[in-house]
């Protein structure tokens, strides 16, 4: 049985982990692509235990409470072409989170996180391409020790742009399922581009695709996410 602990730095909402980071951290334990289902908000600074079944299914628990489940997956997702880096820079100027942000301290997309602390991935609309895009230059704190970004941070980068691809009106949604595949790690200090686009919607459920490109415009990571609108309290 393995264990993990999520530092407060890597929050999404103030009291729980960023979903993409959590999913990426679990995937690093399995060293393969996983579909991660979040059953409860992953708590911060708390020891979580990870158990594995014979079929490769992982269960993440806080004592007896199930936080998440993960199973081996093959991600089938064809990203659109990457916009130019400067197009992503221009799109980010219109990031919806600058006007209003539900979780401004989010590690990935929070506007109140300083450079070198948060990832500051601000995905804004590119209507002509039917997607959102953001520039991202990974800072040295994300280095795995060889100049490349740790895989769990690649997964985190692929999270929030998916929300902004399906929630342009800032409606409340929760990440329910996340499948990320890292083709190769980007370098610290590299001028990367992250995009998100809608896949399909059904009622309260909304699927989004995301992709991460390196400074040469080559695909380095992609993810599929399922976002769910909470039921209205009646």
> For position 171, what pLDDT does the model report?
82
Q: pLDDT tens digit string along 140-184?
A: 999 999 999 999 999 999 999 999 999 977 788 999 999 999 999
> What's residue 198's pLDDT?
97
Token representation of residue 125:
């609309």
pLDDT band, residue 124 (cuts 50/70/90): very high
Domains observed in the chain: 2-72 (3.10.129.10), 85-228 (3.10.129.10)
pLDDT band at 233 (very low <50, low <70, confident <90, very high): low
Return the closest-CA partner of residue 192 out of 119, 112, 127.
119
Q: Which two tokens stand for residue 215?
A: 């400074």
DSSP-derived secondary structure for the chain: -EEE---GGGBSSTTBB-HHHHHHHHHHHHTS-EEEEESSPPBSS--EEEEE-TTS-EEEEETTEEEEEEEE--------PPPPHHHHHHHHTT-GGGT--S-TT-TTT-TTSPBTTB-----EEEGGGTEEEEEE---GGGB-SSSBB-HHHHHHHTTHHHHHHH-TT----EEEEEEEEESSPPBTT--EEEEEEEEEEETTEEEEEEEEE-TTS-EEEEEEEEEEPPPPP-
What pLDDT is recorded for position 225?
98
How much is the average pLDDT of 86-95?
97
Q: Per the confidence metrics, is the pTM higher than 0.85?
A: yes
State the chain's mean pLDDT as an integer.
95
Distance CA 157, CA 168 (A): 18
């Amino acid at each position: 049985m393995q264990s993990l602990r999520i530092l407060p730095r890597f929050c999404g909402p103030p009291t729980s982990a960023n979903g993409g980071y959590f999913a990426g951290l679990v995937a690093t334990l399995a060293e393969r692509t996983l579909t991660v289902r979040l059953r409860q908000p992953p708590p911060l600074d708390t020891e979580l235990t990870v158990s594995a079944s014979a079929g490769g299914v992982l269960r993440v628990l806080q004592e007896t409470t199930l936080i998440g489940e993960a199973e081996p997956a093959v991600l089938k997702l064809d990203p659109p072409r990457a916009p130019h880096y400067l197009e992503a820079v221009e799109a980010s100027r219109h990031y919806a989170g600058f006007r209003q942000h539900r979780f401004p301290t989010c590690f990935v997309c929070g506007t109140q996180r300083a450079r070198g602390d948060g990832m500051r991935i601000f995905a804004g609309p590119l209507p002509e391409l039917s997607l959102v895009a953001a520039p991202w230059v990974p800072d040295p704190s994300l280095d795995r020790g060889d100049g490349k970004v740790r895989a769990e941070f690649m997964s985190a980068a692929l999270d929030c742009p998916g929300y902004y691809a399906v929630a342009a009106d800032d409606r409340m949604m929760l990440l329910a399922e996340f499948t990320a595949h890292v083709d190769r790690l980007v370098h610290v200090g590299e001028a990367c581009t992250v995009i998100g686009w809608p896949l399909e919607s059904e009622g309260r459920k909304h699927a989004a695709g995301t992709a991460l490109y390196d400074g040469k415009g080559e695909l380095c990571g992609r993810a599929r996410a399922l976002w769910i609108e909470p039921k209205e309290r009646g």
